[in-house]
Structures are given as structure tokens and as C-alpha cells.
Chains A and B, each alone.
Chain A
């Protein structure tokens, strides 16, 4: 039951996101670009930190 509710919740989020994308993407393309761009910036900077962890793990030196 919990899984079903979670799935339903995710489906609602998906539908709302699609409606948001269609409406805002059409009426306010730069607002939409801000949403997508901010998510992208956060993900890339986070990936950079995780990559540093991986680099540190794979290397024996103390370089940072």
C-alpha cells in the first residue's frame, strides 16, 4: 500500500511538472530556464564534490 501511495504521489508530481513545463515554458521561457538551470547547477556542483571523493579514494597521494 505504501508503495502504491508513493507511486501515486510521484505520478502526481510528474503530471504537475509536465503541466508546469508546458505552461511556463510557453508563457515564461526564462522562468522555465531558471528552474531547469538551477537544478542543473546544483547537480553538477554536487557531482563535482562526489567526484573529488572518488578521486581521493582511488589515489594514495594527499593532493587536493
Chain B
């Protein structure tokens, strides 16, 4: 086993986290805006009213800016798996590569092909054909997210694969299990709908800006109404699927759920409080203070009133035998690689499910090799490895809370906004409009916190229970990592600056200055079943 510098592992983690978080500043808007555009265009096709075409075109232009930069930031991440995570790619590439390949060949190509038709096909396609194209773009962008999240779910809850001692890697076993992995299902819907929330807040906030300035009032009122209703249902869906993910983590990733809840000791149902705020201390393995709501935690996580949630200390204790068994597995596997003896294979098979814990112990073994551990030092290595099974509690705990608190804020804001819009009192509520405007970046922030919770909470594993993160990286030098990290920071910061500049510029210009489709060329309004009186739109 090759020794990997821990600094390189940390830098690789930092670089991937940075590029992923940068990338995910753009993704939610793409996921949600496409379906919002589809909704606006659907109304245009059904009613024939020009204003809805204006809306689809204007918000489509902002979508286009975001889409282009989002694609550019996403491509580098796929290369990072090969350059910075070569051991991971070897170990899990069979599983991880399949959904990524399908994503590229099916979803990304579909999305990229139809997005051109969507932008340039307004005058070349019939209304119905253009609407179909818009739906295909929306479907393509969300299918793209689906395959990425299927790949990610495999890392959190490996399904549809088995470890092959001949090839020393996870082998693809079942496509159906991979696609219908419960974690993939819940995570896809949670992430996709979080994108809807981001897009709804984006449209609602910019519409609020126009209303505050008294510009484009009819345009902004309709955009605001659609976004508020789009957002309130999406927020309910995000919270529902967040609950589903919590329940799955309770069953499959108990260390993550214990860290999320700052639960050092097993809970005492049903009175265990849900901690609203605390100061988790990873070094001392305790919370310095806690403010909680009694009776909430047990039903929230377990959906019962009597099931306990295992605490981190108890999880550490339970890991001891698995680490010992894992050391046996890795040692047997190493011998089998040389001898190909049935005895070694049988011993490995007996301890196979704990192999990852044996690899985790390698950090405390001489030369990161558990076969080098002297018999009288195994207990010490096991004891030293036990705390390693826990993620960073402070980060996981607070990123989760920021996400949840922000979600509750969105729920309140969308609900009030929808109510005020339905009562047609928007322009009398300046404070609400300002809150909507200033809340534009918050859903993006919430999705970033969501990813931090999911990924930091999975630690110390890249493939949960199978492959530790510190063994997953490539054996680069520190200087290489620092150099590429600086390059990424500079490049991606330029992307963000370009996105913000263009978004501010075109949002300020507003729909009347849409050079892509000058208003002089607009179709004449056509009467429809919804026209009770002719109106100026």
C-alpha cells in the first residue's frame, strides 16, 4: 500500500469541496429555472398572452447566463476524480463511472442540444414545439442531476455492488439496485426541489425589485405570483424529503445522524430534546452548552416515540470489534493476493463486511499497513482508530442547522408572499418585497450547507463503510496541490464575478430591454378562454 501524505489528502479534500461548492452555486438555478420557464411558457401556450412569452424569454436569458457558467465549473470536477482521487477511482470507478457516463451521454447531451433550440427557436418553431423543447431542457437538466446523485448515493449507501478480492475493487452487480437506491431517490428529489426553491426565490426577488421601483409592474406581478406558488410547494417538498433522508441516515449512517444532532450519548426516548443550538467540542467529545426543545428528537428522527438514537460514544464502542475484524479481513486479503489460497479467501470472506474498518485502522499502523501491527499492539491500534469513525461534529451539526433554519425562513416568506400576492396587496408591503429581494442568495447558501452536511457527515469515508478518505487520494506532492488549488480559486472566482456582473446587468435592464426579442416584433395578443375582458399586457 502506497503511503499518502496526510497534507495531500487534506488539500485534495479542500480542493474538491471548493470546486463542488463553487459549482453548486450555479446548479440549483439551472434545475429550478428550467421548470419555471416551462410553467411560464405553458401559460403562454394555453392563454396566448404575450406577457407570458416575455416572461419566458426574459427569465430564459438569465437562465442562459447561469447555465453557461455552471457547465464550465462542472466539467473540471469529473477530471478531479481521476487526477486527485485515483485510489477512489480504482476502487469505486466501476460503480461511480457508470452513472457519470450515462449522465454525460444521455442527460447532458439532451440538455445541451435542446437548450440551443430553446434560445434560438422562438421564431422557427411552433408554440407547441417550442414548449416541448423547453420541457426537454428542464427534464435534461434534472436527469443530469439524477445521475450525479445516483453516483453520490452509491458513496453514501453502496448498493448494487460487491467487493471482488481478485480485482481489489467494487464490482458492478445490479443496475436496478444502483438506480433505485433509496438514498439516490430521496437525495435526487431533495436536491432537485431545492433547485426549484432557489429559482423561485430568484424570480420572486428580482420581481420584488421591479415592484419596489415601480417598473414592469404587470410583468413583475405575474412573475412574483408564479414564483411564490412555485416556491411554497417546493419548500414543503424539500422539508419532506429532508425528513426522509434523515430517516435513511438513522438506519444506514448512524454516525452522520448522531453528529448532525450533536448526540454524544444514546438518546432517552421520548423526552430527548432536539438541540437547537450547541457548541460541540470534537476534541473533548462533548457539547459545551445546549438549547433544545424536549420531546422532538425521537419522533423527528425515528418516526416513533420509543426507539433510541445511538450516540457517538456508543457508536465508537460498537466499532471496536468491527475494526478488529477488519484488520483480519485486510490481512487475509493481503495474504490471498500472494498465495491465492482458499483458506485465506475463506477468512477474508468471513470478515469482508468489516474490511473498511481494517483499512481505517491503517492510519495508526506502521507504514499505514495493518499487516505490520505486532500482536501486542492491536488493542492500542483499535482504540486509536475508534474515534476516527466520527465525522467533524461541529461542522456537521451547524451546517445542518443553518440549512434547516433557512428552509423554515423560506417556508414563511413564500407562504406570506403567496398570500399577499393572491390578495393583490404586494405594493403595500414594501418590507416584504425588500425581504424577498435580499433573500435571493439564501437558497443557494442553504443548498451549500446541505452538501456540507451530507459530505462532511459521511466522513471518514469516501465509500461509506468500505473505503476511508485518507486512502482514496492520489499520491501528488503538496506543491502540486497548492498550485492547482490557487488556479481553481482564481478561475472560479472569475466565473462568479462574471455571473454576478451579467446577472445584475440584465436584471437591472429588465424585460423591456430584451434585445433577443424586441417588443416591436411581439405577436398580437390572442383571445383565449381565460380572457374575460381584453386587457393590456
Contact = CB atoms under 8 A, between A and B. Distances in A.
Interface of A: 27-31, 33-34, 37-38, 40-42, 44-59, 63-64
B425 interface: yes
B35 A41 contact: yes
Given A29-B185, A64-B221, A46 B193 contact: no
Given A50-B530, A64-B427, A40 B233 contact: yes
Contacts of B188: 30-31, 34
Contacts of B225: 45, 48-49, 51-52
Contacts of A53: 47, 49, 222, 530-531, 535
B156 to A, nearest CB: 15
A27 B176 contact: yes
B38 interface: yes
A34 B189 contact: yes
Given A63-B424, A64-B426, A45 B227 contact: yes
B65 interface: no
Contacts of A42: 35, 38-39, 42, 230
B46 A46 contact: yes
A61 to B, nearest CB: 8
Contact of A56 (B46, B422, B535): B535
10 contacts: A30-B244, A31-B189, A34-B193, A37-B189, A40-B233, A42-B39, A50-B47, A52-B225, A58-B532, A63-B427
A38 B35 contact: yes
A49 B528 CA distance: 14
B218 A64 contact: yes
B186 interface: yes
B229 A44 contact: yes
A40 to B, nearest CB: 7
Contacts of B226: 45-46, 48-49
Nearest to A53: B530
A44 B233 contact: yes
A57 B537 CA distance: 11
Contact of A54 (B39, B192, B532): B532
B12 interface: no
Interface string B23-53: 0000000000001101110110011010010
B179 to A, nearest CB: 7
B196 interface: yes
Interface in B192-239: 192-193, 196, 211, 217-218, 220-222, 225-230, 233-234, 237
Given A30-B186, A41-B237, A53-B222, 13 more contacts: A30-B182, A41-B233, A42-B39, A42-B42, A44-B229, A48-B226, A51-B422, A53-B530, A57-B531, A59-B424, A63-B427, A64-B211, A64-B427
Nearest to B423: A63
Contacts of B532: 54, 57-58
B297 to A, nearest CB: 24
B533 interface: yes
Interface residues of B, number: 51
Contacts of B218: 56, 64
Q: Which of B46, B185, B193 has the most CB of A within 10 A?
A: B185
Contacts of A54: 530, 532
Nearest to B186: A30
Contacts of A59: 424
Contacts of A52: 221-222, 225, 421, 424
B405 interface: no
A37 to B, nearest CB: 6
Nearest to B427: A64
A63 B425 contact: yes
A16 B425 CA distance: 44
Nearest to B192: A34
A64 B421 CA distance: 7
Interface string B73-114: 000000000000000000000000000000000000000000
Interface string B227-264: 11110011001000100100000000000000000000
Contacts of B221: 52, 64
Contact of B230 (A30, A33, A45, A51): A45
A30 B241 contact: yes
B180 interface: yes
A51 B225 CA distance: 9
Nearest to A27: B180
Interface in B139-154: none
Nearest to A48: B229
Contact of A55 (B186, B241, B424): B424
Top 9 A-B residue pairs of the complex, sorted by shortest distance between their CB atoms: A64-B221, A30-B185, A45-B230, A48-B229, A42-B39, A45-B226, A45-B229, A57-B532, A57-B533
Contacts of A44: 229-230, 233
Nearest to B425: A63
Contacts of B176: 27
A28 B180 CA distance: 6
Contacts of B49: 53
A3 B415 CA distance: 44
